[in-house]
Amino acid sequence: MNQLEQLKQYTTVVADTGDFQSIKAYAPQDATTNPSLILKAVQKPEYRPLLEKTIADFPNASTEEIVDRLLIAFGTEILKFVPGRVSTEIDAALSFDTEATVAKGRELIALYEAAGIERSRVLIKIASTWEGIRAAEILEKDGIRCNLTLLFSLCQAVACAEAGVQLISPFVGRIYDWYKKSMGTDYQGADDPGVQSVKRIYQYYRKFGYKTEVMGASFRNTSQILELAGCDLLTISPDLLQKLADTEGAVERKLVADANADIEKIALDEKTFRFMLNEDAMATEKLAEGIRAFCADSGKLKKMIEEMR
């Protein structure tokens, strides 16, 4: 078996793309999208008609409504190729607004259900701010499952687990990027700070019995992926899925629950969360940077829609 086939023995593989054909090629269980991936997809000739049709079908809708409809259109198409779930992201501009995030999550689920998609097949993707985590807590109680993204620190992961969210997406590659730039070191294998962060979160969840799923995300190379074999899920871009599929060699399970792991439980309230996040320069910078980047790509998508109307 190639490395991708072997990895699937230990970990649920998720496609990190809005490209239907890539999803079909690698047979993942789930798929994830974000504003950057949707923007990238609609710029391709094969996906442009989906954007055009969405605009034509809702001529009186606002630009924001068109974006929502487009997200649902992509998600619905993606679910034709995966047996599991699709993650659909809420506008990052709402990252610090709990009430607006809850309202948008409910709207997106209603649109999916109107399209014949059960809510169990959708994860609403929300930034791991304090406000986003609180919104996810409310949505989960409504039976709306959430994927907390832009996650860079243990305090974010703990807050998500205590809020009862379905899944978190720690960003391995972006953590690696920060430390590589800051320290001037090209970390490899188990020494990679992004890999170490996910392992720490995984062990914390297992030791204290949290049910929240851990899905490593934002990979820069296959080494990072293979070091996390055994993680609940890993969401992987098409180019890295292809590299795994093209490579022979043994894949070993690296993540195994350790009941004796030397980890202390963290008591979190809002003040503690904000202080711990503030003390982590990498997490603070990457969270802010990620929100800005997603907002920028959402803005580009809205501008594209307005120019086509």
* Active-site option among 8, 104, 125, 199: 125
- In the annotation, is 286 catalytic? no
Strands 122-127 and 86-89: parallel
Q: What tokens appear for 36 in the block?
A: 């950057």
Rounded distance between C-alpha atoms, residue 251 and residue 301, angstroms: 39
Block residue for tokens 């659909």: 88
Rounded distance between C-alpha atoms, residue 136 and residue 247, angstroms: 38
Helices within the chain (DSSP H only):
3-7, 20-26, 35-42, 48-57, 63-78, 98-114, 130-141, 154-162, 172-183, 193-207, 222-227, 238-246, 270-279, 281-308
Q: Which residues of 20-59 are buried (b: 16+ CB within 10 A; e: fewer)?
A: bebbeebebebbbbbbbbbbebbeeeebeebbeebbeeee
CA 27 to chain CA mean position, Å? 18
Q: Are 129 and 287 in contact (CB under 8 A)?
A: yes
Q: Is the dihedral of CA 128, 258, 179, 190 positive or negative?
A: negative
The residues that are catalytic are 125
